[in-house]
Amino acid sequence: MSIRRFAAVPVVLALFSILGFIAWAGAAQESRHHRMVVVPQEDRFQPFAITIHAGDTVDWVNMDTDDHTVVSDDAFNTADHHGVDVLLPGTDANAGQPGRFSLQFTKPGIFVYYCRFHAQLDHVHQPIAPGPRGGIQDASGNFGTPMMGVITVLPSKDDTGGGAQR
């Protein structure tokens, strides 16, 4: 074995350990997913409904020029994060950058939310469109759709199901 080839052994070993670390870090990150909810250049959250697992994080990104909000509908919210009321700045108010907001969900349940600029709650706390001054207008001029979304948080994938077997 030449001296040059011998010297290469520790370099190769170091390279393998670095690659191993990258693979490990990638796997660790994969167990905690990020899911994105986008406000396109319209008054709505896309997708309307998503299903995640406890431990996952939802990232809201406002691609619209206008401001929007993420407000928890606590009459239906069983996934913690009660009282959320966050402004998602539009690109006009944020130097051209999308407004962002993230929440990690650790408790299984449901998280119903709405934008208080483009929806309001009725007497049974259901989001309704605020009429011609906001909400989503369809092709026939109907403002029947409130700006809202639903996140369903399932138990963690790491959770083996609990319940001692005897």
User: Which residues of this protein are in contact with Cu ion, per CB under 5 A?
Assistant: 68, 115, 117-118, 147
Task: Determine contact, residues 105/79, Cβ cutoff 8 Å.
Answer: yes
Work out how close the CB of 105 gets to Cu ion at its nearest, in angstroms, rounded to a whole number.
22
Q: How far apart are CA 133 and CA 42, in angstroms?
A: 14
Using DSSP, state whether 101 is helix, strand or coil.
strand
Task: Determine contact, residues 121/20, Cβ cutoff 8 Å.
Answer: no
Cβ closest to Cu ion, residue 54 vs residue 146: 146
Work out how close the CB of 86 gets to Cu ion at its nearest, in angstroms, rounded to a whole number.
12
Work out how close the CB of 119 gets to Cu ion at its nearest, in angstroms, rounded to a whole number.
7
Residue nearest to Cu ion (CB): 115
Cβ closest to Cu ion, residue 111 vs residue 113: 113
- Which value, to the nearest 10 degrees, does the dihedral of the CA atoms of residues 10, 16, 17, 20 take? 180
Q: How far apart are CA 97 and CA 43, in angstroms?
A: 17
Cβ closest to Cu ion, residue 62 vs residue 77: 62
Cβ closest to Cu ion, residue 53 vs residue 68: 68
Q: How far apart are CA 120 and CA 152, in angstroms?
A: 21
Cβ closest to Cu ion, residue 115 vs residue 151: 115
| Radius of gyration over every alpha carbon of the chain, rounded to an integer in angstroms | 23
Q: How far apart are CA 24 and CA 98, in angstroms?
A: 31
Work out how close the CB of 118 gets to Cu ion at its nearest, in angstroms, rounded to a whole number.
4
Work out how close the CB of 14 gets to Cu ion at its nearest, in angstroms, rounded to a whole number.
51
DSSP code of 144?
Answer: -
